[in-house]
Amino acid sequence: MRPPRKLRQARERDVDVVVIGGGVNGTGVARDAAMRGLRVALFERNDLAFGASGNSSGMIHGGVRYLRTDPEVTQTSCRDSGHIQAIAPHLLFRIPFLLPFPSRKSWLFPLVDAYFEAYDRYQPLKRGKPHTRLTPDELRELEPGIVGDLCGGISFDEWGIDGARLCTANAVDARERGAKLFVGVTVERVERGPDGEVEAVRYRDRHDGRVGRLTTASVVNATGAWAPITASLGDVAPTAARVRPGKGIHVVFDRRLTNYAVMSETIDGRSIFIEPWQNMSVIGTTDDDYYGDLDDVVANSEEVRYLVEGLAKVFPAIRQGRIIGTTAGVRPTLYEYGKLEDELSREHAIVDHAEHGADGMYSMLGGKLASFRLFAQEMVDVLARRFDLSRTCTTHLTALPGGDEEVDAFRLSGELDIDAIAARRLVYRHGSRAWRIGEQMKRDPRQRRTVCVCEPVLEAEVRYVIEHEMARSVSAVSRRTRLGLGACGGMRCVARCGTLLAEQRGMSPLAGMRDAMQFMTRQARTRVCGLGPQQARQEALCIAQLRSQIGIVAKPSLAAVPERLPVDGDSETEVTTMSPAREAGAPQDGGQGD
Amino acid sequence: MTERIVFVVGAGAAGLAAAWAAARHGATVRLVDSGSGVSALVGGAADHRPWEEIARAVALRGQTPLAGELPAGVADFAADLDLWSLPLAEEPLLRLATEAGRLRTARGADSALLDWTQIPAGGRVILPRAIRSEWDAGSLARSLREDTYVRSRGLKLEVVDAKLFKLQGEERIAPADLALRHDEPQRLAWLEMRLGQLVAEAGASDAILLGPWLGVRSPVASVLSKNLGLVVGEVLSGVGGAAGLRFEFARERMLAKLGIELQLACVEAVEPVEDGYALSIEGRQPPEIADAVVLAIGGVAAGGVVYCAPETRAGRDAPDRGSRAFKLSLDAPVDLRAHGKRLDVTSSIHGPRMDDCAWPIDADPGLLEAVGVDCDPTGRVLPGLYAAGDAVGDAPRTVLEAVASGIRAAAAACLTEID
């Protein structure tokens, strides 16, 4: 079949569409567009799921919160939550919620009950259970840690997901369907033709500095909170792709501290929650206007305390929990002036920048994790019209990588002779593709070695995500596998992960170690803002271990420097070998070397 | 004059050195310990100055310093402990390979560790492959081959396949457990046989580098080295390696010789009384009385200094009062300091802001490393009350500095009259 005329014209370009942004929207668009036969290139400046997608609450919830203001959002969220369950069943886990209700507000209880009854109508869309009304005793029986003068409670049903895995699955699928993925590569300029139409993008690899140019017939700006910056790269006014960036943080505790997710209210009356999430507990979330650097968003101790104090109101034992980390991301909420953060709409919108003179350029603004697929579908529908493409979206019918069949973790564990928990985690993250990682272990039994003990993560998986899932740094491996995010803070595994990274990618071992130390330094910043006594002790031990093993260095460089060494014990000779960095004339940084 | 009673709290490197020195000064020594600290956890290297500092100096001056003098008594203590090899002042520093793949200098080291200066120039080092989580011979060799020292001395690293674990499941047990198994003579003979075959197959070699598996009670590494006619030794491992356990056994031997009993107990409070100090011990009455006390309870990593976050007071709406960010794990009339400043009450009821100050920045240690007891250079806080080792604020967190401070504190504790 001949491609449609408009598409044939576009085929003079390298690709039909350049997607900028490797979050859930960008990877979702890349997948959908590739499935409909478009030639796609995706650019991600940092790493897949680096921003809001990888730092969300880890839920594809139905948006019960939005029922009052945006019932549309609730309905589409619920429907799409159902679709995600169908295409990636391995990534989902049920999170039942409890909403304790204080006696002082008892007159409101029937209203809230009715509210959840309205929500129940949407639950079948996502295989959720209807809400139940609980007495105070029932509530305390389900969750003995709950305190306070309560008149009852409500239970309702949501689903948890690993946002980073979701992005990775979309990206891998897009690539397998022919899309070109550039991870760690930033677009520096969107070039426009004589009539203002999009012509090409210029890009630079942030790891090795290589630059390039790719011609394209259209550009999709799916960069979330970075959207105004990205628009400006194509000389479109940043205000044309304006969002209201809202920083949200989560506090991560060691272990599952509750059976259910529990809702609470902060001192200023905002709804927050604690949720058991995989092998940890997570409290979230804050929502504050953010004006800082988007590449370096971290939680601070004030935000951590705000959340802990808010949750302690109904679940005081949280004060004794052990904080092992925090996450922080910036929501790209639709722009509005003069509203409080929580009141902002979670709707999404597509801006066609033809109206700003940039034909072929589009910005995706707003949205939420649960409705990413629908948002991507709407975006690719626009592209399909542009290229006269008749193929319709099938992303809700086609399984994501690993989502095609169920895998028995015990069988995997038995067949590969690996720890059952490690096998279970592998199946969670990779679904049926866990067998591919298994094949690696069969070929090379040494890859059964545990790298990260806390999670646990095996060597085979580390190698797999570097080779097949575009992980280019230790932090990217961590994002894909949760390596180094446990209680030990990466003390045992980062150096090892660094050397594996170096080996897989043909880097020097020192470069791998340097990358590992960068990861450690950054991770430490996300932990120290929530330190408690136990974790403080662990941090001190971790520092001692790193000092002994690698050396905590002044600057993130371990470049070798020449040293006069005694040879044969008597004569001193100048050693002239230097690292490539030195040969290239990189400045000496007083770092360490031997 | 009756014998002075010196009470040493903590039996890591600093506490043990203090007990040893106090016994030499003729004091009656009481030694209590309440669990594994850093000496028993992080192990293998016996540094005096932090090795990173030496590496920085090397980077500036381009020359590696010699081992250098040690503070008074340290060498004698080490000789009695019989655990570390310590080069003389005019000898070169040791070189150790770390599990992470670096070759670093050290003032001294657990004798089971492979000292790379012992390998002749141009020598051949064998790294056997094994499936253990702490051991990846391939990538270790790759990293070490890039090291300047290895290259300058023309050392050749070779990775070979080997079966070094006799029993099934041994690839998964803790390294210290595996090391313990090699204390059995039969098991050691088996390992020697395996390594002998390995060398026979691999051809003439000068050294074998292994993981932290070489015995705990007995000098397995030196036996193997002697019998095989080449240098056999361990890599410098981290937490959970065998070196910590070896320290504990060496301590047991030393205390037996000195006739000091190590009591496992938790000291809750040290209080000045008329003729010395009263120590309240958990579950015991009445308090014990001592003429002098040495606090060798470790820093934050060991649990001697505790970070007190206000959040952890469960069930309360707000802390009772403003607090200091750190305290000792026992009640004692001491102040804490970090970075040369005495720690004050934090000006937030919700505790200090740890965001930027907890982790080390550049060459400066972070708060977690620096915090400790505010004392004079001998470790004296009050007449008769001393701090030693990592419990001392701003002291370098190294083993030999801990030993030196233990010896200093004990000497002062035995000589000072209490007013």
Peptide linkage before A285 cis (omega within 30 of 0): yes
Q: Which is more confidently placed, A386 or B308?
A: A386
Q: Does B397 touch chain A (CB under 8 A)?
A: yes
Q: Which residue of B has its CA nearest to A321?
A: B312
**Residue A457 in this model has a pLDDT that exceeds 80:** yes
Q: Which of B60, B107, B139, B398 to mutate to test the interface with A (most CBs of A within 10 A)?
A: B139
Tens digits of residue pLDDT in B135-160:
999 999 999 999 999 999 999 999 99
Burial-class residue B415 by CB neighbours within 10 Å (0-12, 13-18, 19+): exposed
Give the mean model confidence (pLDDT) for residues B342-348: 86
pLDDT, averaged across chain B? 92
Residue type, A251: V
Residue A394 clears pLDDT 80, i.e. is over it: yes
Q: Could you check whether A5-52+165-241+346-386 and A92-161+244-342 share the same CATH topology?
A: no
Residues in chain B within 8 Å Cβ distance of A511: none
Phi-psi region of A396 (alpha: psi -120 to 50; beta: other; left: phi over 0): alpha
A105's CB contacts (< 8 A; 6+ apart) are A151
Q: What is the DSSP track for A555-572?
A: SS-------EEEETTTEE
Q: Which of B38, B148, B358 sits opposite A544 (nearest CB)?
A: B38
A contact test, residue of B239, B317, B327, B353 with most A CBs within 10 A: B239
Distance (Å) from the alpha carbon of A195 to chain B's nearest alpha carbon: 50
> Among residues A33, A25, A379, which one has the least CA distance to residue A175?
A33
pLDDT of residue A556 exceeding 50, the answer is: no
Any B CB within 8 A of A551 CB: yes
Which CATH entry fits the domain spanning B5-40+246-415: 1.10.287.90, 1.10.3720.10, 3.40.50.300, 3.50.50.60? Answer: 3.50.50.60
Q: Which of residues 374-403 of A touch B (CB under 8 A)?
A: none
Q: Which residue of B has its CA nearest to A448?
A: B131
Min CA distance, B27 vs chain A (Å)? 33
Amino acid at A214: L
d(CA B139, CA A25): 38
Distance of CA B141 to the CA centre of its chain: 26
Yes or no, beta carbons of A593 and B58 under 8 Å apart: yes
Contact list in A for residue B359 (CB cut-off 8 A) is: 521, 524-525, 528, 539, 543
Q: How far is CA A256 from CA A97, A142, A205, B382, in A?
A: 14, 15, 40, 46
Q: Secondary structure of A362-419 in the HEC alphabet?
A: EEEEECCHHHHHHHHHHHHHHHHHHCCCCCCCCCCCCCCCCCCCCCCHHHHHHHHCCC
For A90-145, how does the pLDDT look when each residue is reduced to its tens digit (9 = 90+)? Answer: 999 999 999 999 999 999 999 999 999 999 999 888 889 999 999 999 999 999 99
At B404 the pLDDT is 98
- The distance of B74 to chain A (nearest Cα, Å) reads 21
Residue of A nearest to B139 (CA): A499
Q: In sequence order, what are the beta bridge partners of A43?
A: A20, A182
Assess A487–B contact: CB distance below 8 Å, yes or no: no
- Across the interface, whether the CB atoms of A590 and B60 are under 8 A apart is answered yes
Taking the Cβ of residue A103 and every Cβ of chain B, the question of whether any pair is shorter than 8 Å is answered with no
Residue A524: closest CA among A494, A554, A550: A494
Q: Is the pLDDT of residue A590 over 60?
A: no
* Cα A252 to Cα A530: distance, rounded to the nearest angstrom: 9
Question: B218, exposed or middle or buried, with CB in 10 Å at 0-12, 13-18, 19+?
Answer: middle
Determine the Cα–Cα distance for residues B309 and B325; give it in Å rounded to an integer: 7
| Interchain CB distance below 8 Å, A591 and B59 | yes
Helix, strand, or coil (residue A188): strand
- Strands B262-264, B207-210: pairing is unpaired
Q: Answer whether A551 sits within 8 Å of B142, measured CB to CB.
A: no
Nearest to A550 among B100, B301, B316 (CB): B100
Query: Which own/partner contact pairs does B87-96 have at CB distance under 8 Å and 24+ positions apart?
Result: B90/B66, B91/B66, B91/B67, B92/A566, B92/A569, B92/B64, B92/B66, B92/B67, B92/B117, B93/B54, B93/B64, B93/B65, B93/B66, B93/B67, B93/B117, B95/B149, B96/B44, B96/B45, B96/B235, B96/B236
CA distances from residue A556 to A512, A519, A577, A592, A594 in whole angstroms, order as listed:
11, 10, 21, 10, 15
Given this model, what pLDDT does residue A5 score?
67
CB contact under 8 A, A528 and B358: yes
To the nearest whole angstrom, how far is the Cα of A576 from the nearest Cα of chain B?
Answer: 9
Are B58 and A453 inside 8 Å of each other by CB? no
Mean pLDDT of A442-461: 94
**CA atoms of B251 and B82, how far apart (whole Å):** 10
Would an 8 Å CB–CB cutoff place A145 in contact with chain B?
Answer: no
* More confident call, A501 vs B3: A501
Residue in A270, A265, A277, A276 with CA at minimum distance from that of residue A311: A265
Cβ–Cβ under 8 Å, residues B358 and B364: no
What CATH code is assigned to B84-236?
3.40.50
Percent above pLDDT 90 for chain A = 79
Residues 78-97 of B with CB under 8 A from A: 92
Contact between B195 and B189 (Cβ < 8 Å)? no
Q: How far apart are the first and last CA of chain A?
A: 64
| Chain B: closest CA distance from residue A341 (Å) | 25
Nearest CB among B153, B299, B303 relative to A567 is that of B153
Most confident of A193-207, A572-586, B317-331, B345-359: A193-207
Interchain CB distance below 8 Å, B102 and A549: yes
B362: pLDDT strictly greater than 80 = no
Q: What is the 3-state secondary structure (H, E, C) of B95-139?
A: EEEECCCCEEEECEEECCECCHHHCCCCCEEEEECCCECCECHHH
| Chain A residue numbers touching B315 (CB-CB < 8 A) | 316, 319
Mean of pLDDT values over B300-308: 93
Q: With contact defined as beta carbons under 8 Å apart, do A223 and A229 qualify?
A: yes
Selecting from B100, B153, B314 the residue whose C-beta is nearest the C-beta of A495 gives B100
pLDDT at B46 over 50: yes
pLDDT at A569: 38
Amino acid in position A370: A
Q: How far apart are CA B197 and CA B233, in angstroms?
A: 17
Closest Cα of chain B to A531: distance in Å? 7
- Please name the member of A532, A536, A592 whose beta carbon is closest to the beta carbon of B55: A592
Core vs surface per residue B13-28: b (16+ CB within 10 A) or e: bbbbbbbbbbbbbebe
Report how far residue A403's alpha carbon sits from residue A431's, in angstroms, rounded to the nearest whole number: 6
**pLDDT value of residue B172:** 84
Which pair of structure tokens corresponds to residue B214? 């070489």
Asked if A567's CB is within 8 angstroms of B152's CB, the reply is yes
pLDDT range class, residue A574, cuts 50, 70, 90: very low
- Pick the closest to residue A408 from A430, A427, A436, A422 (CA basis): A427
- CATH class label, A5-52+165-241+346-386: alpha beta
Number of neighbouring beta carbons within 10 Å of residue A213: 12
In angstroms, rounded to a whole number, what is the distance separating the alpha carbons of residues B194 and B73? 41
**Dist. CA B8–CA A160, nearest whole Å:** 53
Q: Which residues of A562-592 are buried (b: 16+ CB within 10 A; e: fewer)?
A: bbebbeeeeeeeebeeebebbeeeeeeebbb
Q: Give the bridge partners for A256, in sequence order.
A: none
SS (H, E, C) A259-315: CCEEEEECCCCCEEEEEEECCEEEEECCCEECCCCCCCCCCCHHHHHHHHHHHHCCC
The answer to whether A108 contacts chain B (CB < 8 Å) is no
Residue spans of the domains in chain A: they are 5-52+165-241+346-386, 92-161+244-342, 409-549
B163 and chain A: CB distance < 8 Å anywhere? no
B14 has pLDDT over 90: yes
The answer on pLDDT for A580 being more than 50 is: no
The two tokens of residue A565 are 């060494």
- CB of B169 within 8 Å of a chain A CB? The answer is no
User: Is A594 within 8 Å of B64 when comparing Cβ atoms?
Assistant: yes
B50, B58, B301 ranked by CB distance to A594: nearest: B58
Q: Which of A3-7, A441-445, B242-246, B291-295 is the least confident region? A: A3-7
B46-55: average pLDDT: 91
Nearest-angstrom CA–CA distance, B205 and A96? 63
Q: How far is CA A351 from CA A19, A334, A367, A459, B416, in A?
A: 14, 11, 13, 44, 81
Ramachandran class of A484: left when φ > 0, alpha when ψ lies in -120 to 50, beta otherwise: left
Enumerate the domain spans of chain B: 5-40+246-415, 84-236
Angstrom distance (rounded) from CA A177 to CA B49: 57
**pLDDT above 70: residue A576:** no
Residue A346: which of A111, A52, A118 has the closest Cα? A52
Cβ of A444 under 8 Å from any chain B Cβ? no
The DSSP output letter for A14 is S
Residue A331: count of CB within 10 angstroms of its CB: 25
| Residue A273 CB contacts under 8 Å (≥ 6 apart), including other chains | A57, A97, A261, A262, A263, A264, A283, A284, A311
Nearest CA to A488 among A450, A540, A448?
A: A540
* Weakest mean pLDDT among A233-242, A330-339, B70-79, B360-369: B360-369
Whether residue B316 is predicted with pLDDT greater than 80 in this model: the reply is no
Residue A393 contacts residue A380 (beta carbons within 8 Å) = yes
Nearest CA in chain B to A447: B131
Q: Is the CB of residue B372 less than 8 Å from the CB of residue B387?
A: yes
Q: Highest mean pLDDT range out of A53-62, A284-293, A564-573, B238-247? A: A284-293
Beta bridge partners of B341: B338
Q: Which of A403-417, B64-78, B405-419 has the lowest mean pLDDT?
A: B405-419
Give the CA-trace dihedral at A299, A485, B299, B345, to 10 degrees. Answer: 20
Query: Does residue A196 sit at the B interface (CB-CB below 8 Å)?
Result: no
* ipTM field: 0.94
Distance CA A240, CA A244 (A): 13
- Asked if B62 and A552 come within 8 Å (Cβ–Cβ), the reply is no
Task: Number of A to B CB contacts under 8 A, please give it.
Answer: 226
Residue A3 reports pLDDT greater than 70: no
Is residue B341 within 8 angstroms of chain A, CB to CB?
A: no
Q: Is A154 helix (H, G, I), strand (E, B) or coil?
A: strand
Strand partners, A465: none
Choose which CATH entry (3.40.640.10, 3.30.9.10, 2.60.120.10, 3.90.1150.10) describes domain A92-161+244-342: 3.30.9.10
Tens-digit pLDDT profile for residues A324-374: 999 999 999 999 988 888 888 778 999 999 999 999 999 999 988 999 999
> CA B13, B97, B49, B245: dihedral to nearest 10 degrees?
0
Smallest Cβ distance to A319: which of B143, B311, B359? B311
Q: Are strands A185-192 and A198-205 parallel, antiparallel or unpaired?
A: antiparallel
Which pLDDT band holds residue B348 (cuts at 50, 70, 90)? confident
Give the pLDDT score at A558: 41
Measured distance CA(A168)–CA(A172) in Å, rounded: 6
CA A311 to the chain's CA centroid: 24
**Which residues of B, range 96-135, sit inside 8 Å of A by Cβ?**
98-105, 121, 129, 131-133
